[in-house]
Every structure is written in structure tokens, then in C-alpha cells.
Amino acid sequence: MTVELAQVQIVVGPVSHDSAVAWLDYADEVLGHFRGLDEPPLSDALLDNFGELLSEWRALVRRPVPFHWVSEESPERTEYLINALFQAGLAVEKEAANGDQRLRPPEADEFHIRLIDGVLGALSTEGPPYSQFAAEMRSLWGISELT
């Protein structure tokens, strides 16, 4: 007997090519910074997961067309990764306050907002625990649902 796990479809985009590249460049910088710390704010496994996603997304920006990514993932993993992204953002803010890291450049904002909206929008369709989590994360991030 095979048990098929529920999957959520995540759609990010379309996003301008320039914003996607700016966000990916910044994310690579942050990932490298975190990997260089004696006590990184995220586990090595999470940093590896983010690195894999960045590699996948880098392949999509090789051509100068709007970024568009569609993926299927379990709701649990999706929730875990978006929460880790939020925690990474908090760590970056702390590092920036100490002068050890710069904040995300404005040209990367479009991608960042579309990414968060795509992930939280997908989670919000997965029933009460996930929709409540998505609503809470939207509130914490200050990002309304895009239409």
C-alpha cells in the first residue's frame, strides 16, 4: 500500500527578471554570511535547503524573462521553510543593526513580496492550521494578500 502525501502548489511570479536577480544575489550574500558564522542563526540543513532553492531559481533567471516558478511541496515543509525565511530575516535585521550585514536592496522587494505571497497564499488553502499560520505570518511580515 502506498500512502500519497498531500502537496500544495506554490506559484511565484511573474516577477521582473531584475528583481529576481537582485533578490537571488542578496540571498546568496546572506547565505554565505550565515555559513561563515561560528554560530549561524539557522541550521546547516536549513542553509542547505535554501541553497538548493537558490540554485533552482538561478537556473530560471539565466534568460532575461520575467521570473515564474511553480512547485509542489508538502504543506509541512512549506510552513517550515517560510518560517525559517522569516527567522533568517530577523537574524539579518539583527546583523544589520550591528553593522555586520546589509539589508535587502529595494530592487529585490518585488521578488520578496511575490515569494512570500505565493507561499502564504498556497498555505492558506490547506485548512485551518495552515491558513491561520499564513494569516499570522502575513501580519508579522506586514504583507497583504496580493490579487
Looking at residue 4, its pLDDT comes to: 53
Per-domain residue ranges of the chain: 10-141
Looking at residue 5, its pLDDT comes to: 60
Q: pLDDT tens for residues 73-91?
A: 999 999 999 999 999 999 9
Q: pLDDT tens for residues 100-147?
A: 999 999 999 999 999 999 999 999 999 999 999 999 999 999 887 775
Q: Can you tell me which residue has the cell 540571498?
A: 27
The SS3 of residue 98 is: coil
Alpha-carbon gap, residue 80 to 72, rounded angstroms:
15
Q: Which of 141, 111, 97, 125 is nearest to 27 (CA)?
A: 111
Q: Which three three-digit cell numbers place residue 93?
A: 535585521
